[in-house]
Amino acid sequence: MWEDFRNVPDWLFPCDIYGALIDAEDGTMIKEIAVIDDFALGEPEAGDQRVPVAAYNTDKKKFFVVWEADEMPSVDDSAIFARYVNGDGTLEPIIDIVDAPRQQHWPDVVYVEEEQKFFVTWNDLRNDGLPKGSDWYTSPAIDVYARWLDDTGTPIGEEILIAEREGTGESWKQVPRMAYNPVEKRFLIAWYNRHAAGGDTPFGGAPSDVKATLYGMPSFLSVQVVEQGTGNPVEGAWAMVMGPALPAIGQTNMGGWFNIEKGFQFNGFYLVMVFKSGYGMGLEFVNYSGEPQEVTVSMVTR
Ligand SMILES: [Ca+2]
Ligand SMILES: [Ca+2]
């Protein structure tokens, strides 16, 4: 997936988006795909589409492509759009993901298989108070937002403020990128954090860092179950945790992990028991004092 300028003199002109299906076996290109080519549709001024990202929907076997677009009369400065690209390269209709006041830019997208939903994040100028049409590099506030979508791309629930401006100076949180942890059911969302003084230029030097946050329920206990001797993860083991809270049951994933979210657990000793046929029962005590705990339980093969 890429920004494509084949129809214009250079990158300052309205952009289109192309992609390609690549053979996973030998790396050859099967088909080039015009995800959006306004020129081919006879509407060269139909929009400036940029920064495409894609997530593969493993259930529907199709690609969900998300991008930012501006220079469109129907859009307030800029907005985030998406469309499915089918496995054979054919296209489905374009979907509106978000168009709040001012710019929404630099999306990232993850498909969460267990939920059959997408999670999308982007950077957002809705809180900067500047009039429509103001250049992004004059903005005093670029924040990070996110939202859930169902597997048709329809937004679910409210937009979520992930990170916002600090202090009164310019503070930009740009280009969020994320990874999903299916054991803890949480996202790590990282961004380019820039502390620019007033009168900044878009590409001038400024103190900056990379920052990140976790989004999702905090953890109470993460357990990895391994085979004694080899240290190999034990997949599909049943685990039971008992102590000063309601008992919790889980099953380990292919990495041997399972996780219990923080809830109404009191401080004190908890007993972790793990079971799998072909193994002796694994046991471990955990002393919980309010902080997330992580333990390894060994199982002996029979
Ligand atoms: Ca275009
Ligand atoms: Ca907008």
Q: Using the 8-state DSSP alphabet, how is residue 114 labeled?
A: T
What CATH number did the domain enclosing 252 receive? 2.60.40.10
How far does residue 144's CA lie from ligand 2's centre (Å)? 14
Q: Are residues 104 and 204 in the same domain?
A: yes
Which domain-ending residue is among 215, 246, 267? Answer: 215
Q: Using the 8-state DSSP alphabet, how is residue 204 labeled?
A: S
Ligand nearest to the CA of 16: 1
How far does residue 77's CA lie from ligand 1's centre (Å)? 15
Which domain-ending residue is among 186, 215, 244? Answer: 215
Domain of residue 246 covers 219-299
Q: State whether the Cα torsion 122-159-37-74 is positive or negative.
A: negative
Which domain-ending residue is among 150, 180, 215? Answer: 215
How far is 173 from 144, CA to CA, in rounded Å? 6
Q: Are residues 205 and 226 in the same domain?
A: no
Ligand nearest to the CA of 123: 2
How far is 232 from 235, CA to CA, in rounded Å? 9
How far does residue 47's CA lie from ligand 1's centre (Å)? 4
How far is 146 from 273, CA to CA, in rounded Å? 37
How far does residue 85's CA lie from ligand 1's centre (Å)? 17
Q: Are residues 272 and 183 in the same domain?
A: no
How far is 87 from 165, CA to CA, in rounded Å? 40
Q: Are residues 11 and 69 in the same domain?
A: yes
How far does residue 251's CA lie from ligand 1's centre (Å)? 48
How far does residue 300's CA lie from ligand 1's centre (Å)? 61
Structural domains in the chain (count): 2
How far does residue 102's CA lie from ligand 2's centre (Å)? 4
Contact 27, 21 (CB under 8 A): no
Q: 114 Cβ partners below 8 Å, 6+ apart? A: 182, 185
How far is 1 from 82, CA to CA, in rounded Å? 13
Other Cβ atoms within 10 Å of 10 Cβ, number: 6
Contact 80, 68 (CB under 8 A): yes
Along the 302 residues of the chain, how does pLDDT read in single tens digits? 999 999 999 999 999 999 999 999 999 999 999 999 999 999 988 999 999 999 999 999 999 999 999 989 899 999 999 999 999 999 999 999 999 999 999 999 999 998 999 999 999 999 989 999 999 888 888 999 999 999 999 999 999 999 998 776 667 899 999 999 988 889 999 999 987 655 456 666 778 889 999 999 889 999 999 999 999 999 999 999 999 999 999 999 989 999 999 999 999 999 999 999 999 999 999 999 999 999 999 999 99
**In this structure, are strands 186-194 and 171-181 parallel, antiparallel, or unpaired?**
antiparallel
Q: Are residues 276 and 159 in the same domain?
A: no
Q: Are residues 7 and 117 in the same domain?
A: yes
